[in-house]
Amino acid sequence: MKLKVILPTKILLQEEVSKVIAEAENGSFCLLPRHIDFVTTLVPGILSFVTVSGEEKFLALDEGILVKRGVEVLVSTQHAVQGDELEILRQTVEKQFRVLDKREKQTRSVLAKLEASSIRAFINLGETIKN
């Protein structure tokens, strides 16, 4: 299979692989060369793969999308870190990617409050104009 990991600014990885293991919302899964075509969303975690020479490698990923089509496995994500030490990558996921999720949730909450406030202001303005 041909694994390609795509970030917004660059292609992080292009490699021939014999196996890919990743994590979706409903758990971990493994893709082998003759696996059916497959699409899923990825959660922050570790993506591991085995090169055709038999070497196991790891990536820490933020949320993303994985598409397997024929012999291609495409992974698109906002953030990814490649490394050899699994424990360091797990710490990266915990510290960096999960913190980003918290910040995104806080930002969405603030935006929702701002939208609600704006809508209330327009309703009040409409009532003022009627009177």
Amino acid 35: pLDDT:
93
Model pTM greater than 0.75?
A: no
Check pLDDT > 80 for residue 127.
no
- Burial tier of 89 (Cβ tally within 10 Å: 0-12, 13-18, 19+): buried
Q: 22: how many CB neighbours lie within 10 A of its CB?
A: 22
Domains in the chain: boundaries: 2-130
What are the structure tokens assigned to 117, written together?
């406030």
What pLDDT score was predicted for residue 99? Answer: 60
Please name the fold of domain 2-130: ATP Synthase; domain 1 (2.60.15)
Cα separation, 75 vs 40, in Å, equals 10
